[in-house]
Amino acid sequence: MKRVVIAEDDPDVAELLRLALIEGLDVESEIVANGALVMDSVAARRPDLLILDVELPGLNGLDVFDLLRSDQHWQGVPVLFLTAAPELAATANAPTGVHEILAKPFDIDDLIARAERLLDLKKAGLAA
């Protein structure tokens, strides 16, 4: 079963995401509410997709993204930025693989479609 890590500090949004992904894509998911804990979660068990909020406590999503992309081992993990600040996510070291940016508030069907596309890219070995 595919694994999605949801890095989101708003518990209501995180639970909405978790339930939508489980129902829409039949994946297992883990919620991480603090950016400093994302790397621990990723290292414990490599996800097939990381949904990353830009404005996380501890370590913001842009810093988490930079850490992932600076280590060759994590470069193939697809990232979907889900953020109220899409302009910030768009500047996130773009040449190193921002895969998708979805602005809050978001449409659940759009989120599911983008997540599915990223998971399919990873399966096909096309994710950077």
Does residue 14 form part of some domain?
yes
Regarding pTM above 0.75, the answer is: yes
* Count: domains in the chain: 1
Does residue 98 form part of some domain?
yes
CATH number at 76 reads 3.40.50.2300
Does residue 17 form part of some domain?
yes
For residue 32, what are the domain limits? Answer: 3-123
Does residue 16 form part of some domain?
yes
Residue corresponding to tokens 């400093």: 36
49-104: pLDDT as tens digits: 999 999 999 999 989 998 888 888 887 889 999 988 777 777 665 555 557 889 99
Percentage of residues of the chain with pLDDT beyond 90: 63
Separation in Å, CA 12 to CA 19, 32, 33, 84, 92: 11, 13, 11, 15, 26
pLDDT of residue 86: 79
Does residue 86 form part of some domain?
yes
Quote the mean pLDDT of the chain: 88
pLDDT of residue 123: 67
Does residue 128 form part of some domain?
no
Does residue 92 form part of some domain?
yes
Mean pLDDT calculated for residue range 12-21: 97
Does residue 34 form part of some domain?
yes
Separation in Å, CA 31 to CA 37, 63, 72, 97: 10, 18, 24, 22
3-class secondary-structure state, position 82: strand
d(CA 102, CA 100): 7
